[in-house]
Structure 1
């Protein structure tokens, strides 16, 4: 599938704040808000893989206003960092992602496919872009710096997704495949396959050791 005449509108703003709560205790916060959408209706062409023969051309995908990016449109994070005089460091971090959508299949929104839908409800469903659930995680980390035989060593251990949440949808996309079936009026109709999803990692441990000469 090839799309041409694509027009998009992308904008975003970010803000961050660093607050020293105490001599060795620091709070870091950041917020990002954006919008990544199609503007206008691009032209869609479908070619056969083996021969390159044109199967569908000259059709428009009604994508105006749909989100084109899998990136969350809203993100926020806060981290509490504490360090000691003996070179220990401790971090507690919370992260949030919202306004996330599945990646759209342009073919679902062409006149040709909408004509093949069996009912107005199915046509309306094709124009909806599924919003993924908002997600949040907690992470913790500990670091230690020291000198060993005159060499600087820095060790760290982090635990991501501390609460071991396994229901976080990381991303999703609409499949390119369609299901052919017989509608109530006897004609052949088509409906899209369900969206596919990927899930975030469960609780994850990461350890590292850095040596500086």
Structure 2
């Protein structure tokens, strides 16, 4: 994977000590380098899956949505994030202000088709120093959280604008987003529609993505702009 210009740190877990085990659904571990910095390292099904998640994370960051700090890895199957000690790690523990803060990024979740935005157990949103962050974007773009391809379900129509607020099979997303007002939704969508198309193109191509994905994400942005009327 290419660097994104934000300072290229390439992680080699072979030079580190494994100090902890898997937390989520993917094979993973906590690794520590010689400076004491810890990283959470997931091993995914293919380099394509890893690239997909890294692109999603960089699109989140482009939109201003807080995420973990991602790094490139010498192993193309790996996703590496800096280890972070959370104050809260489940939306069930969020207060009203934190829920409102999480809702600000609803448009980003919808744009990137992150069906797993809230998490299967409500554990994909966390709080650090009063800031709500998305902890895992593995369910965004082309793949489901467990790695299955979305296929035609990831198209140019952003059905997630409705589905994330209404699907009873996604109860934690329903809990987090269903009570958003029309004004809340419009502002969350505007977070995405304000992004210049050229920046979207650069982020995707610089992260190893395709022009086809660029076209799709710009089309999804246009759909959201039209949704606002």
Q: TM-score, normalised by structure 1?
A: 0.19
When Rg is computed on C-alpha atoms for both structures, the one with the higher figure is 1
TM-score (norm. length: structure 2): 0.18
Structure number with higher strand proportion: 1
